Amino acid sequence: MITEHGIGKRKPIGITIVIFILIIFAIWTLFPVIWAVITSFKEPGDSYKPTFIPYKQFKPTLYAWKNAFITTRDRTLRALRNSIIIATLSSTVTLLLGAFAGYSLARYEFRKWKNKDIALWILSNRMFPPVAVMIPYFLIMQKLHLLDNLLGIVMVHTTMNLPLAVWLMLDFFSELPKDLEEAAMIDGCGHFKAFFYIAIPIAAPGLVAVYVLSFIFSWNEFLFVIVLSFKKAMTLPVLIAGSLTVRGLDFWKVASLSILAIIPPVILALVLSRYLVRGLTMGAIKE
Amino acid sequence: MAVASIGRKNVKWAFLLPALIYLMLMAILPLGWTLTLSFTKWHANIMPSPKWVGLDNYKYFLFENPRFWNALGFTSMYVGISVTGELILGLILAFLLSHKFKGRNFFRVIYLIPMACPPIAVAFLWRMMLHPDIGVINTILKSIGLSAVKWTTSVNMAPFTIIMVDIWEWTPFMFLALLAAFQSLPIELYQAAAVDGANSWQMFTHITLPLIAPVIVTISLIRAIDAFKLFELVFGITGAGPGSATESLSFYVYVIGMKWFKLGRGSSISLLFLIILLIFAITLISRFKKVRTG
């Protein structure tokens, strides 16, 4: 039997071993998340015990979740709201600028600087270490009175995601036929109209992929948020870090806040799974 | 009409310039500022403005203070071991999952989860599980008769704990990228090899590996560049300790700049860091340049 790649004849026993190994790896992969879910439904006293089965081994409670959404409601909701606003705004700006630039590099020819050189220069911005601009960002935002302000973080996250967005949009647009736009332009349609009414709709999957990727990166970002926020502009990742106090780590709190922060990006990643590898490998690998 | 009459030349720049200007203002300008600051002494807590000191900061980190070399050493070791480990595990898993069987997609979906999680959540969840006395991993180890491991409290163990969590987080990336690369290979090669009686291991080593070698180099470089920026796992799991056994370059820059507010020194060390990453980045970019046309 020839199945997919690299596979010759397969005996059923072989497949059993394969599945066994894959299950082991799946357990290793899922364990921290499952453990966090379990811990988030434990009372503080139980959260330090290695018990797994609710009702049998421990009494499930909503203590951690009530604490997050009732006792410290304002803090949690503000962080959640900030995370949503920052990720939404920064990925919108990223997508807009990225789609324009990607389209330009895919459809027009630049002479003095070659298209490829411009594109690679843009991409190279994604590679330098974030800490290399951390100090100037702090000083700039201080001067602009944008410390602890959502706008400051949105600006920084846009910078962080833009290079990859341009690069991926270039990639998506170059795969699409340009005949439609050319035909429209011959019929008297302007360049901008051709872009908005013809190129954008056919590139929709690529646009969604870039938007969602930027959203995930912004949502997960931690370094710039702790540097640029103290209280008002705090996001969920910073709130998680805040559960480490002088008394130590509150397991139930870490667990519930982490689950809260994990759910949106994981759902988006699952929806986007076809494009995730392409995005993370900077388009080097297409699924 | 006004819009349509803008020439081709202007249109392309109108599309491109917003992104270019944005990156100039928000990436290149700040980098220039970092460069300028790196030649100054500016302890912002007590000094109102920076004072020019030339190359003193660089001299300090390169020759006087061992902490930079310690951070570089730890970060390099961590990058080397994690990326190699992730690559090997990823290859094994991709090899196994290239078999077709029921429920295959289930595993692919499961393996997406770690890399989508916020790294700081990953770090704190592992910190909780690896707690030396009451963490679930040590209690399980003790209950099956093994001795507890000093995951985060031993100078020798802590670096490997960070590496272990990184492997947890990023093996799936390697695996999914490799699997996608496997599946882009022409099936005819395998059919021909099957006719010649090759088994799947032979096919893997003689066809798959040589063909995807360039992909392996590319994704390893991508992973290595990102791994070098290691911050959240150190922040969340060990706080750079014990001592500075797990202090990464990013974390050290953060401490100098944002904890001690030594902005001049912080700038110079972050530029040293940038130069190191540049070597990897240039290699990667030259690969992209070769592979892609257009």
- Using CA atoms of A21, A27, A29, A32 in order, give the dihedral in degrees to the nearest 10: -160
Q: Is residue B43 part of a domain?
A: no
Same domain, A118 and A214: yes
Q: Is residue B57 part of a domain?
A: no
Residue in A with minimal Cα distance to B257: A135
Same domain, A19 and A144: no
Same domain, A215 and A111: yes
CATH of the domain at B159: 1.10.3720.10
Same domain, A129 and A236: yes
Report which of A99, A119, A87 is spatially closest to residue A201, judged by C-alpha positions: A99
Same domain, A27 and A156: no
pLDDT at A18: 85
In a mutagenesis test of the A interface, which of B10, B29, B117 is the best target, namely the one with the most A β-carbons within 10 Å? Answer: B117
Residues in A touching B117 (Cβ below 8 Å): 33, 220, 261-262, 265-266
Same domain, A121 and A188: yes
What average pLDDT does this structure show over B68-82? 96
- How many domains would you assign to chain A? 2
Residue spans of beta strands (DSSP E) within chain A: 244-245, 248-249
Distance from first CA to last CA of chain A, Å, rounded?
A: 25
User: Which DSSP helix (H) or strand (E) runs through A13?
Assistant: helix A12-40
Same domain, A47 and A78: no
pLDDT above 90: residue B10: no
What average pLDDT does this structure show over A250-258? 91
Structural domain for B219, as ranges: 65-291
Res. A2 pLDDT band, cuts 50 70 90: very low
ipTM higher than threshold 0.85: yes
In a mutagenesis test of the B interface, which of A131, A147, A222, A250 is the best target, namely the one with the most B β-carbons within 10 Å? Answer: A131
Q: Is residue A27 part of a domain?
A: yes
Q: Kindly state the tokens that stand for B251.
A: 């974390």
- Residue B172 identity: P
Same domain, A131 and A242: yes
Cβ of A129 and B114 within 8 Å? Answer: no
Minimal CA separation from A180 to chain B, in Å: 17
Q: Is residue A6 part of a domain?
A: no
- A positions 63-82 inside 8 Å of B (CB): none
Which of A6, A136, A155 lies at the smallest CB-CB distance from B95? A6
Cβ of B277 and A118 within 8 Å? Answer: no
CATH of the domain at A242: 1.10.3720.10
Residue A14 or residue B85, greater confidence? B85
Residue in B with minimal Cα distance to A27: B110
Residues in B touching A25 (Cβ below 8 Å): 93, 107, 111
Structural domain for A33, as ranges: 12-65
Same domain, A135 and A255: yes
Q: What pLDDT digit, counting tens, does each position of B110-127 carry?
A: 888 999 999 999 999 999
Q: What pLDDT digit, counting tens, does each position of A6-22 carry?
A: 444 455 567 888 888 88
Same domain, A81 and A52: no
Same domain, A122 and A261: yes
CB pairs under 8 A between A and B: 344
Q: Is residue A1 part of a domain?
A: no
Burial class (CB within 10 angstroms; exposed 0-12, middle 13-18, buried 19+) of B51: exposed
Same domain, A90 and A49: no
Minimal CA separation from A154 to chain B, in Å: 12
Q: Is residue B42 part of a domain?
A: no
What gap in Å lies between CA A282 and CA A161, rounded to an integer? 12
What gap in Å lies between CA A75 and CA A242, rounded to an integer? 11
Q: What pLDDT digit, counting tens, does each position of A173-230 carry?
A: 998 888 888 888 888 888 888 888 888 888 998 999 999 999 999 999 999 999 999 9
- How many domains would you assign to chain B? 1
Residue in A with minimal Cα distance to B282: A124
Minimal CA separation from B81 to chain A, in Å: 19
Residue B134 or residue B271, greater confidence? B271
- A positions 236-255 inside 8 Å of B (CB): 236-237, 240-241, 243-244, 249, 251, 254-255
Q: Is residue B49 part of a domain?
A: no
pLDDT at A12: 59
